Amino acid sequence: MPEGLSAGEVSRDIQEHREATEEEHEEHRNRRIMIIEAVLLSLVAVLAAWSGFAAAKWSTESSLRLSRASAARVEANAAGLRALNSVNFDVTAFNAWFTAYVANDRSAMAVAARRFTPNFHRAFNAWLATHPATNPGAPPGPTYMPQYRQPEKAKAQSLNALASTDYAKGVAAGANSDGYVLTTVYLATVLFLAGIGSHFELRGVRYALASVGGAILLVAVFRLVTAAKPP
Q: Would you call 229 helix, strand, or coil by DSSP?
A: coil
Task: Summarize pLDDT for 178-223 with one digit per residue, the tens.
Answer: 999 999 999 998 888 877 766 566 667 777 877 888 889 899 999 9
Contact 142, 123 (CB under 8 A): yes
Residue 107: its pLDDT value, please? 92
164 near 117, Cβ under 8 Å? no
State the DSSP code for 141: S
Q: What is the pLDDT of residue 94?
A: 94
CA of residue 139 relative to chain centroid, distance: 47
For residue 139, the SS3 value is: coil
| Per-residue pLDDT tens over the stretch 144-187 | 999 999 999 999 999 999 999 999 999 999 999 999 999 999 99
Q: In the chain, count of helices (H) and strands (E)?
A: 5, 0
Distance in angstroms (rounded) separating the CA atoms of residues 120 and 142 = 7
pLDDT: is 98 or 204 the higher one?
Answer: 98
Residue count (the chain): 231
Contact 122, 147 (CB under 8 A): yes
- The pLDDT score that the predictor gives to residue 12 is 59
